[in-house]
Amino acid sequence: MSVLRLATATVGVSGVYVQACGAVVGPKEGEGPLGQEFDRVWPDEGKGYSSFEKAEQGLLQEACDTALQKAAMSWDALDVVLGGDLLDQTVTTNFVGRTHERPLLGMFAACATFTEALALAAILVGSGAAATALASASSHHLTAERQFRFPLELGYQRPPTSAWTSTAAGAVVLSREWRAIQVQAVTFGRVVDIGGKDPNDMGSAMAPAAFDTIERHFKATGLKPADYTEIVTGDLGHFGIDMLKTYASDKGVQFGDELNDCGRWLYDAQNQDTHNGGSGPGCSASVFAGPLTRRLAAIPHGRMLLVATGALFSPTTYQQGETIPCIAHAVQIASTGGDSAP
Amino acid sequence: MTFVWAFVIGGVLCVIAQLVMDLAKMTPGQVLVLAVVVGAVLGGVGVYGPLVQWAGAGASVPLPGFGYTMVEGIGEAVKQKGALGLFTGGLTAAAGGIKAAVLFGLFAALIFKPKS
Amino acid sequence: MGQVIESGFMSTGMTAKMAASPTAVVLIGLGALFTGLGWYDRLVKLGGMGGSLPITGFANAMVAPAMEFKTEGLVMGIGAHLFSVAGPVLVWGMSAAFVVGALRYLLTGVA
């Protein structure tokens, strides 16, 4: 158990293990290609809650409860909870905190929130500052659309580069007890703004931020793309991932088949009308907490880099004509050969 | 015959608006505002009136027709009341549409819940 | 479609000018109803401005935000948001009509 500075904002972590994960998603995500691999799929977006904001809180609560249940832990056993969401004042995370009453670090990095929380949680546990920590992130299609874009029933056409904010929540419990998946290193991103202005094309705006973090992580750890079983970005989508590949090869880094994207996996692009793919903090959180950790645990010596990307704009800055600053945080995990799948 | 022209003109107006939105990268709200303003200007210079005579609802139902209706209303009111008509005419002519939109809008919003 | 309704009203003895207003009322009612039933956003997805530009689109622009903000109450929720998209259209429409009318009045003296 230790943490070690490898380079600016890249921290090597050892002795920190994923105890269990919880992933709960909405109906559309349930119908997607990964639908079977989440812990729970909601039958509809509201599930009887009186508002969609409350529904998002319920979604996050279920994801956290599921993770704790699988870890055979109670809320009281958690030293600290880290997490965030898309809504103003991160109300989802904070209101769920009202129920569980554990020490809470609310975070915001838009759709990169999950890896920000997971990375910091790993450092806290690895350093011994916390014995157990829970990292989470959530988003809800209907609450996010209403805050960021247009009213739901207002007819308008989405451009092909626009993303579909996912209804999804993911939670991961970390502690020092040996398990199938360990955290190896994390890199915190810096804000990168290439001057993109179109909130309907966030994938292209975020790709340079993703590359910046990945490149810094490679330099600090001495690893290259081929050393990973999988390198997975958060929600660059179909357009963003192509742009990342082009951008990287211009800078002399060649990605192969190991590079993929949670947003691209979450929906069936042909049949689900989601254009560029899924987005939202819940997208990378649920895909990581559901399918990704389980698949990695089954691969001997598997190593994965999760790079969630966030577009840090608000409706106000967009209307004032500001460009969109972006950020990406990376977490590297590896399989240990342990048989208890998260 | 009016039906055919209504269909054609209504369609052409919508195509123009769609092109403006796609090419100028405007939001739907901006295009709707622009459409009403353009309708008012065209009404003022006497172009939109003949179009409405010719294509009926094909020209009056799309939003430029709303701008045109208000300008026509102002014209009528000015004839009767002088300069005061500049203030009363526009809304008088559009009163039916606006009141209906508010009332029906309120009812619909009260009755229904957004789906997705 | 509007023409069918307008002709319906005209057949009851109204002039084209008289029929325009009730036509608008009926279409707005339909636009509001379709929005409430959740059909209108699908229509526009298909037809783009073909769905947004007619007066039914105006009704859609009022109902959609009002429905969405229903949870924030009757006054600041529904009341305020009925005009969040439609308000600008009214403000600029009325102002443009006023300017055009005023110019015409000044230039020709008859409006």
Q: What's the CATH number where A45 sits?
A: 3.40.47.40
Q: Chain B residues with CB inside 8 Å of C93's CB?
A: 33, 36-37, 39-40, 66-67, 70
Q: Which of A173, A194, A221 corresponds to the end of one domain? A: A173
pLDDT at C101 exceeding the cut of 70: yes
Q: Are A214 and A143 part of one and the same domain?
A: no
Mutation target vs C (from A154, A162, A164, A272; most C CBs, 10 A cutoff)? A154
| Burial track A212-251 (b if 16+ CB lie within 10 A, e otherwise) | bbbebbbebbebebeebebbbbbbbbbbbbebbbebbeee
Q: Which of A173, A205, A232 corresponds to the end of one domain? A: A173
Q: What share of chain B is helix, strand, coil (3-state, %, to 5)?
A: 85, 0, 10
Q: Are A248 and A331 part of one and the same domain?
A: yes
Quick one: tokens of A220?
Answer: 């600090």
Segment B14-39, tens digit of pLDDT: 888 888 877 877 777 888 899 999 99
Q: Is A110 a member of any domain?
A: yes
Q: Is A118 a member of any domain?
A: yes
Q: Are A330 and A186 part of one and the same domain?
A: yes
Distance CA C64, CA A12 (A): 50
Q: Is B116 a member of any domain?
A: no
What is the average pLDDT across B76-86?
88
CA-based end-to-end distance of chain A: 20
Q: Are A197 and A329 part of one and the same domain?
A: yes
Q: Chain C residues with CB inside 8 Å of A156's CB?
A: 41, 44-45, 52
> Which domain does B57 fall in, by range?
2-111
A156 near B CB under 8 A: yes
Nearest CA in chain B to C69: B109
> Which domain does A243 fall in, by range?
180-335
Q: Are A127 and A250 part of one and the same domain?
A: no
Nearest CA in chain C to B96: C21
C47 φ, ψ to 5°? Answer: -105, 0
Q: How confident is the model at residue C107 (pLDDT cuts 50, 70, 90)?
A: confident
Q: Is A10 a member of any domain?
A: no
Closest CA to C16 of B60, A74, A99: B60
**Residue A107, CA atoms < 13 Å, CB-side half-sphere:** 26
Distance CA A135, CA A116 (A): 9
Q: Is A342 a member of any domain?
A: no
Run of H or E residues at A173: strand A168-175
Q: What is the pLDDT along chain A (342 residues), one digit of tens a residue?
A: 689 999 999 999 999 999 999 999 999 999 999 999 999 999 999 999 999 999 999 999 999 999 999 999 999 999 999 999 999 999 999 999 999 999 999 999 999 999 999 999 999 999 999 999 999 999 999 999 888 765 555 555 667 778 899 999 999 999 999 999 999 999 999 999 999 888 778 888 899 999 999 999 999 999 999 999 999 999 999 999 999 999 999 999 999 999 999 999 999 988 888 888 999 999 999 999 999 999 999 999 999 999 999 999 888 887 788 899 999 999 999 999 876 666
- Inspect the interface and report whether the beta carbons of B71 and C38 lie closer than 8 Å: no
Segment B47-69, tens digit of pLDDT: 998 988 888 878 888 889 899 99
Question: How many folded domains does chain C comprise?
Answer: 1
CB A170 within 8 A of CB A64: no
Q: Is A217 a member of any domain?
A: yes
Question: How many folded domains does chain B comprise?
Answer: 1
Q: Is B54 a member of any domain?
A: yes
Mutation target vs B (from A145, A148, A153; most B CBs, 10 A cutoff)? A153
Question: How many folded domains does chain A comprise?
Answer: 2
Q: How confident is the model at residue B115 (pLDDT cuts 50, 70, 90)?
A: low
Q: Is A186 a member of any domain?
A: yes
Q: Is A9 a member of any domain?
A: no
Distance CA A338, CA B35 (A): 65
Q: For the packed helices A237-250 and A202-221, what is the interaxial angle rounded to 10 degrees? A: 50
Q: Is A6 a member of any domain?
A: no
A157 near C CB under 8 A: yes
This prediction has a pTM of 0.89
Closest CA to A280 of A296, A295, A267, A293: A267
Q: Are A65 and A26 part of one and the same domain?
A: yes
A81 φ, ψ to 5°? Answer: -120, 130
> Which domain does C15 fall in, by range?
2-108
Q: Are A148 and A233 part of one and the same domain?
A: no
A226 three-state secondary structure:
helix
Segment B92-105, tens digit of pLDDT: 888 888 899 999 99
- Inspect the interface and report whether the beta carbons of A157 and C44 lie closer than 8 Å: yes
Distance CA A163, CA A205 (A): 12
Q: Are A203 and A266 part of one and the same domain?
A: yes
Q: What pLDDT does residue A339 have?
A: 65
What is the average pLDDT across C42-70?
82
User: Which B-chain residues 61-100 have CB contacts (< 8 A) with chain C?
Assistant: 61-63, 65-67, 69-71, 73-75, 78-79, 83, 85-87, 89-91, 96-98, 100
CB C48 within 8 A of CB B26: no
Q: Which of A173, A195, A227 corresponds to the end of one domain? A: A173
Q: What is the mean pLDDT of chain B?
A: 86
